[in-house]
Structure 1
Amino acid sequence: MRRFPVVRTCLGASVLIGALTAAAPASAPLVALSRIEPGLYQLKEVGSSAPPKSLCIANAAVLIQLEHPDANCSRFVIDDTPDSATVHYTCPGSGHGRTVVKIATPRSFDLETQGIVNRAPFDIDMQGRRVGDCDPRKAALR
């Protein structure tokens, strides 16, 4: 009857590996964001009369930290489905945020992000629409 301790050990190892795998998705590509087609996007703030901003998206992960673009942040994936991703991130010394991206089509999305940047709060709701191609090396917000 020594099979049970072996099974229990294997099961314990599987649970540990599962726990480690569950912690890993913060650096793994998000399913929802992988659906966004690379290209030039216009980001229009909902309810604002300001002109839209342009963003060249080579990797849609840039959308998670729009207010902390160059910060080295840790991320915690709250939800990731084919249609939506929710991520909380913390940037030591710069602040933190929570971003929700809802995919309408591979060329359009809604984004809600809020948090603290440089000791000031932000709360932004915007829509992104692909408007063409761009040079992926120029992925800066304009």
Structure 2
Amino acid sequence: MARKRAFILAALGAPFALLAVPGVAQASLDMLDTLDRGEWELRFRDGGNVRKICLRTGREFLQLRHPGTNCNRFVVENSASDVTVQYTCRGNGYGRTHIRKESTGLVQIDGQGIAGGKPFQFTAEARQTGRCN
């Protein structure tokens, strides 16, 4: 009888367990959806070049060292003010990006990983500056 009860409980819990896993791995990243759309200016703390990005979804900030690459992502943190995503780009390295929202037009970004066989680490500030050209 105990074995049957355990089987029934496992069977009832299984659908909920299956629903929970994709929710964590495929989180919606709502904070990125709240950022202003348009042209953003990235200023890297190491004094590197200023870079401009046309922000359409907010996800453009996630893979700054792997732009345009189709990578597998895992959401580590997803709150109203912070997003952390770890990603793997098959055959092209991996990365981890943390984005902290100060306002809808200002974020702080920290990234690290491997790109092109070389390690990278950066800290940057991104500000919305206008419309995309």
TM range, smaller chain: 0.7 to 0.9
Per the alignment, residue 101 of structure 1 pairs with 99
Once the 2 structures are TM-superposed, how far is the Cα of residue 15 of structure 1 from its aligned partner? 2.3
Per the alignment, residue 19 of structure 1 pairs with 21
- After superposition, give the CA deviation of every residue in 1:16-52 in whole Å (9 maximum; x if it has no partner): 3223333332xxx31221121101111111141x452
Match of 1:110 among 90, 108, 111: 108
Once the 2 structures are TM-superposed, how far is the Cα of residue 71 of structure 1 from its aligned partner? 1.4
User: Cα RMSD over matched residues?
Assistant: 2.1
TM-score normalised to the size of structure 1? 0.81
Unaligned runs of 5+ in 2: none
TM-score normalised to the size of structure 2? 0.86
Aligned in 2, Cα 1:117/1:10: closer, same or farther, shift over 3 Å?
A: same
Once the 2 structures are TM-superposed, how far is the Cα of residue 55 of structure 1 from its aligned partner? 1.1
Aligned in 2, Cα 1:8/1:60: closer, same or farther, shift over 3 Å?
A: same
* Contact 2:26 2:74 (C-alpha < 8 Å) held by counterparts: no
Aligned pairs for 1:10-89 (under 5 A) are: 10-25=12-27, 29-48=28-47, 50-89=48-87
Unaligned runs of 5+ in 1: 136-142
Number of equivalences:
130
Measure the CA separation in 2 of the matches of 1:126 and 1:46. Answer: 5
